Structure 1
Amino acid sequence: MVKSLRLLHRSLKTEQSYLGWLRRFYLFLQAKEPEAIEDTDVRNFLSHLAVDRNVSASTQNQALNAILFFFRNVLDREMQVGAAVRARRTARLPVVLTREEVFRVFSKMDGTYKLMAQLIYGCGLRLRECLHLRIKDLDLEGKCLTIRSGKGNKDRMTVLPESLVGDLQEQLGLARKKFEQDRRNNLPGIALPEGLGRKYPNAGTEWPWFWVFPAESQSTDPQTGITRRHHLFPSNLQKKFKKAVSAAGLAKPATIHALRHSFATHLLQNGYDIRTIQDLLGHKDVKTTMIYTHVAGRNLLGVRSPLD
């Protein structure tokens, strides 16, 4: 299963998730041999998740994707359960903060984590896109940012706020100290995407490839087993942001991803066209971006309530 996932360049997060679902499926079937598994076993497992475990539609579909991947790519069998048992996902509006709420939250943060939150809002980044930023991805003079291998393994460019240039230069200075410390200690270079480590063996020890937000200490790479310096752990920023939202007195269930939603909504309110926002967010389909038209303003249709 691991070999098949890596052959198709699935991310580490996908690999961990699919293996987890495969283990749960195996336990549910009480160690039944793969050759003896039938379509009804898959349906029963998904029913168990929906009825007994009360999981969401997206979680149920993720479990199905993991099982179908295993049968299709590992056992070379096609299960006839795909469209019949997929749960219909409920359409939800994104949680969006007002400008005043965004800056109230920022006022309750400081240091590196505040800068990361400001980058996510100011550039429309996903959490992992922010964490994976490398020195060469920043163009402080051109005021732009390059996101490499984002969702769907796509690259894109987005705007870089002028107001963050000074803070970013300071952050690069802190990152440079960690980089030089690693070189003095002759530590392995940082992880490189896919096969670049073999193509450019020394690139991991070069400054342009270093993390913009490196971790304080080294840790072991779960895929290679090599101990090296990684970027900051995602839960650190998530916890800091959750505390800031609570300290700011906001009643909205805002996660760090709400900053990306707010970026898109505020651009729409400022009059930018939907195609421009689609490119900045890296959405494959404009329909995904259109969700923000539902939360971009109080009176998009020009309708006045009869009560008013």
Structure 2
Amino acid sequence: MGLKSVIRKPDGQIEISFNYEKDIVRRIKSISGSRWIPERKVWCLPGNKDTLELITSMFGQKSLDTLVKDSLEKAYIDSEAKRLRDEIRIRGFSNKTIKSYTLHFKRYALHNSDYLQFNLEKVKEYLLHLRDVKECSVSYLTQSISALKFYYCQYKRIPKMNFYIEFPRKEKKLPNVLSKTEINKILSVVTNLKHRAMLMLTYSAGLRVSEVVSLKINDIDSDRKVIHIRQSKDHKDRITLLSDKALTELRKYYKQYRPKKWLFPGADPNKHLSVRSIQKVFSEACKKAGIEKEATIHWLRHSFATHLLESGVDLRYIQELLGHQSSKTTEIYTHVSSSSLSKIKNPLDDIIG
């Protein structure tokens, strides 16, 4: 029969879920004190001997033992993940890193039940499983290695020299770029003032999406025509450009919406808009504008850097505006800039004439 889960709560009660069968529901209802919880789609039962005997008679001891064991293991993993999360938070890592490391740890723990004991071969076996079976990307493998290295070396305190796993070679991918015409098309179809202001700021200042949603009112310096980006990636502050056109749009938006703290608040005015919300806005704008490329909002940041480079702005200034720690990161935009390529005459044009 279709038993899905059995969980014993701290107060001793049992929560059970199963595939619907009329006879099973009838027998569950016959248990004194049973109640259906529609929000979680589970039955809550008194945690006594009679209840356990009835569940066993309906679903079998083997399936019950397996589910209880799985529930306990998951509870242990969740508990260890919480302690790991607290350790990462204490060390001042970003929320994005906290979430990433915690999820990667939990996935490994579910794969290897003996995760509390460091075993280099089992870690390598898991990484090969991700690469060959799950076909995960290089960046995913890199994140997984970083997370497990933190767990074992920083949290469990094993010597770093014991965790000798090299990071995979980085994929050499060029940044995706939209043309100025394409960006103009996208912005022209956005009529909502808030959405338009967000997208204009993202492109005109070369912002990461997390930076856009985290902006506060006082981060906009209209006198100096700059935007203050505070404690972004690598816990760095920086300033970037504030476009005249974007400022005009911001003033229209501010006059109508009157935000208090966050420049772009969410449904709850005490919280900023979610990253997912602005990603959805951009995606819908691309469809409406007829952009056939599978563009993401991060392409606006790439496009900002590329268009500056093509207009003759020094690479060092672009590095500062983007907040890149290394100039090598910024140099990749020279590979997608069309300004230099346009000066080269193709030999085919000479041949055909």
Same fold at TM > 0.5:
yes
Counterpart of 2:266 (choices 206, 215, 229) is 215
What is the CA RMSD across the aligned residues, in angstroms? 1.8
Please give the TM-score of this superposition, normalised by the length of structure 2: 0.71
Query: d(CA) in 1 for partners of 2:289 and 2:254?
Result: 29
Pick closer, same or farther for the CA change 1:81–1:250 going to 2, 3 Å.
farther
Q: Does 1:234 align with 2:275?
A: yes
Q: Does 1:34 align with 2:116?
A: yes
Pick closer, same or farther for the CA change 1:170–1:302 going to 2, 3 Å.
closer
Counting only pairs closer than 5 Å after superposition, residues 172-251 of structure 1 correspond to structure 2 as 172-174=254-256, 176=258, 179=260, 210-217=261-268, 229-251=270-292
Higher alpha-carbon deviation: 75-84 or 132-141: 75-84
Pick closer, same or farther for the CA change 1:76–1:83 going to 2, 3 Å.
closer
Partner of 1:289: 330
Query: d(CA) in 2 for partners of 1:305 and 1:91?
Result: 26
1:233, distance to aligned residue in structure 2 (A): 1.1
| Structure 1: stretches of 5+ with no match in the other structure | 180-209, 219-228
Runs of 4+ in structure 1 over 4 Å off: 79-83
Query: d(CA) in 1 for partners of 2:306 and 2:229?
Result: 20
Q: Would you say the 8 A contact 2:142–2:168 is kept in 1?
A: yes
1:53, distance to aligned residue in structure 2 (A): 0.4
1:125, distance to aligned residue in structure 2 (A): 0.6
Q: Would you say the 8 A contact 2:310–2:339 is kept in 1?
A: no
Counting only pairs closer than 5 Å after superposition, residues 48-127 of structure 1 correspond to structure 2 as 48-78=129-159, 80=161, 84-111=165-192, 112-127=194-209
Deviations 1:211-258 (A, max 9, x none): 11011226xxxxxxxxxx210111111112112112222232211010
Q: Would you say the 8 A contact 1:50–1:56 is kept in 2?
A: yes
SS of the equivalent of 2:347 reads coil
Q: Would you say the 8 A contact 2:120–2:163 is kept in 1?
A: no
Query: d(CA) in 2 for partners of 1:128 and 1:80?
Result: 35
1:108, distance to aligned residue in structure 2 (A): 1.9
Number of equivalenced pairs: 265
Pick closer, same or farther for the CA change 1:243–1:72 going to 2, 3 Å.
same
Pick closer, same or farther for the CA change 1:171–1:302 going to 2, 3 Å.
closer
Query: d(CA) in 1 for partners of 2:321 and 2:183?
Result: 20
Partner of 1:140: 222
Pick closer, same or farther for the CA change 1:298–1:75 going to 2, 3 Å.
same
Please give the TM-score of this superposition, normalised by the length of structure 1: 0.81
Partner of 2:96: 13
Query: d(CA) in 2 for partners of 1:81 and 1:56?
Result: 25
Query: d(CA) in 1 for partners of 2:225 and 2:243?
Result: 7
SS of the equivalent of 1:146 reads strand
Query: d(CA) in 2 for partners of 1:93 and 1:294?
Result: 7
1:80, distance to aligned residue in structure 2 (A): 4.7
Q: Would you say the 8 A contact 2:108–2:115 is kept in 1?
A: no
Deviations 1:183-227 (A, max 9, x none): xxxxxxxxxxxxxxxxxxxxxxxxxxx111011226xxxxxxxxx
1:167, distance to aligned residue in structure 2 (A): 2.3
Partner of 1:279: 320
1:299, distance to aligned residue in structure 2 (A): 3.6
SS of the equivalent of 1:215 reads coil
| Structure 2: stretches of 5+ with no match in the other structure | 1-83
Partner of 2:235: 153
Q: Would you say the 8 A contact 1:57–1:87 is kept in 2?
A: yes
SS of the equivalent of 2:266 reads strand
Query: d(CA) in 1 for partners of 2:342 and 2:267?
Result: 50
Partner of 1:226: none
Q: Which has the larger radius of gyration?
A: 2
Partner of 1:203: none
Higher alpha-carbon deviation: 41-50 or 244-253: 244-253
